[in-house]
Structure 1
């Protein structure tokens, strides 16, 4: 079995994003780790993180949780190109990518990544040197697959036909329904497709009276920023999301999407998201 087919078979339809408020030091470390434990117990196998989230703390938290679980069933993904230091520039040179991958593995406490994402790598960086560097990275056993994480429509379209990318991660959600077609084209090329921002950053969670914790304030502000920028719902005739369950179910209904990534700081929300995943699986049987 190829690496792509093996990882595809191990991917749960729902993945846990180890980033955002979950990674910040103001959110208790043990609560963050506990959410990972719960996610594994609920059947989630995909965990996505990166060195740029809380200056590496996201990877350290995920790594602390991974020690309690078997590695083989899990799909662990991290990123390169944007370093842990907020003051360092992006660097997509092969040497920088390898250094980033090794540092991520150290923080995670694992021997290899299932997917290493180039985070926002523009087409101007796609050259033969990068292609050789990524192949070397895989031959060294640092990463089994390499993917592109981008929200640029032109880069998404170009990456579909770019052989060096085994996987793509971009925004496939009810606010960007047109991206479902790009997902279908990528899947038809044999690539794994991950939906970032599967809940469209929850623009329907706008009511101040729902705020019960500091993390709610953080997500509420993000949701309002997204709503202000998203006057249109998107092309393709998708309905306006009425709830997180509605939005997530729409993404899970896209057969081309290998895995929909979400993040949360609440166990109740995690269970609600898993319930959507299980309902979708039952409905497709």
Structure 2
């Protein structure tokens, strides 16, 4: 597996987003299957695992801890704070005391004495970003956290945070159909030496080419709340898919591999963390690290799927209000 730099670490260019093993995409897989997938990821050369306190309200961190604690020295472990569950509800809380408490809880669930990369999952607008990041610097000094990251923030917020403590990574959604990072964040990361970590690089399954009927999504699938997956909008977006799948066929790769290869082509500071609950998809994803795309192929892809051709926003109004990213 090719590697890229994340703060003080070398990590696999394609990591694993662990969220959907416990959270958000309908019924999670059984424990045994989830553990098998995590172990297979490590065997395939993935050395970058991403979880969070929010995912399954702690269940995902516990799963990762149970499964991979014995192999702790073999991978870069990323988790997140500042967004967690309280009495079954999502709560954003960036107060210093809460972040330090969350760190201690995550360490216990993950069965480790240190978290390599600890993100602020969401910026709590009631707390200056400088205060939240300053609080996260304390566990760094204590050796409980090795590097700090931010999630779903703008370039301006990144720069403010970086002035307080080096920000090793910024994570946000990025794929052919979500291009917001190109407004400012990708360049800001490049200038500051901050890794850019793309979540949902396969467009929440759209660019995998298999989801043709959104009515098949489970009632609790997060995508049901997303405008792009509303039936009318999705029907329009599906018109883009045949041309995209045809390009993948020309290159003799899967549609998901093409999506990942495009994300990795955005710069040497970019990593991707696709999530999956299927080992076959995991193996396909890993192989994408070796796919190079020509300038003409990149141009065709970007002309086909872009901010002007995709219908619907990535979040509904409530979710959009919780992020700090630039928007077209």
**Is the Cα contact below 8 Å between 1:201 and 1:223 reproduced in 2?**
no
Cα deviation code 1:147-202 (max 9, x no counterpart): 1111xxxx322133231333200112101235245213312211121001111112
Determine the C-alpha separation between the residues in 2 that align with 1:160 and 1:125. Answer: 15
**Is the Cα contact below 8 Å between 2:16 and 2:41 reproduced in 1?**
yes
**Is the Cα contact below 8 Å between 1:174 and 1:247 reproduced in 2?**
yes
**Is the Cα contact below 8 Å between 1:76 and 1:113 reproduced in 2?**
yes
TM-score by length of 2: 0.70
**Is the Cα contact below 8 Å between 2:51 and 2:80 reproduced in 1?**
yes
Determine the C-alpha separation between the residues in 1 that align with 2:219 and 2:51. Answer: 19
Matched, 1:275 2:280: no
Which residue pairs with 2:299 in the alignment?
none
Matched, 1:265 2:277: yes
Label 1:273 to 1:219 Cα distance change in 2 as closer, same or farther (>3 A): farther
Cα deviation code 1:9-68 (max 9, x no counterpart): 2x1011111112x11575210110110110011010000111111121111111111134
Taking the TM superposition and a 5 Å limit, the aligned residue runs for 1:153-168 are 155-162=153-160, 163=162, 164=165, 165-168=167-170
Taking the TM superposition and a 5 Å limit, the aligned residue runs for 1:219-238 are 222=223, 225=226, 226-228=228-230
1:127 deviation in Å?
4.8
Cα deviation code 1:115-143 (max 9, x no counterpart): 11111114552254334312212111121
Label 1:93 to 1:187 Cα distance change in 2 as closer, same or farther (>3 A): same
Which residue pairs with 1:23 in the alignment?
22
**Is the Cα contact below 8 Å between 1:206 and 1:224 reproduced in 2?**
no
**Is the Cα contact below 8 Å between 1:117 and 1:149 reproduced in 2?**
yes
Taking the TM superposition and a 5 Å limit, the aligned residue runs for 1:49-128 are 49-69=51-71, 71-85=72-86, 86-87=88-89, 89-122=91-124, 124-128=126-130
Determine the C-alpha separation between the residues in 1 that align with 2:243 and 2:170. Answer: 25
**Is the Cα contact below 8 Å between 2:83 and 2:121 reproduced in 1?**
yes
Label 1:279 to 1:91 Cα distance change in 2 as closer, same or farther (>3 A): same
Label 1:254 to 1:240 Cα distance change in 2 as closer, same or farther (>3 A): farther
Local SS of the residue matching 1:103: helix
Determine the C-alpha separation between the residues in 2 that align with 1:224 and 1:134. Answer: 32
Matched, 1:198 2:194: no
Label 1:134 to 1:28 Cα distance change in 2 as closer, same or farther (>3 A): same
Q: Structure 1: any 5+ residue segments left out of the alignment? A: 234-238
Local SS of the residue matching 1:121: coil
**Is the Cα contact below 8 Å between 2:85 and 2:91 reproduced in 1?**
no
Label 1:93 to 1:191 Cα distance change in 2 as closer, same or farther (>3 A): same
Determine the C-alpha separation between the residues in 1 that align with 2:172 and 2:243. Answer: 20
Q: How many residues align?
A: 262
Determine the C-alpha separation between the residues in 2 that align with 1:185 and 1:141. Answer: 27
Report the RMSD for the aligned CA atoms in angstroms: 3.1
Label 1:13 to 1:26 Cα distance change in 2 as closer, same or farther (>3 A): closer
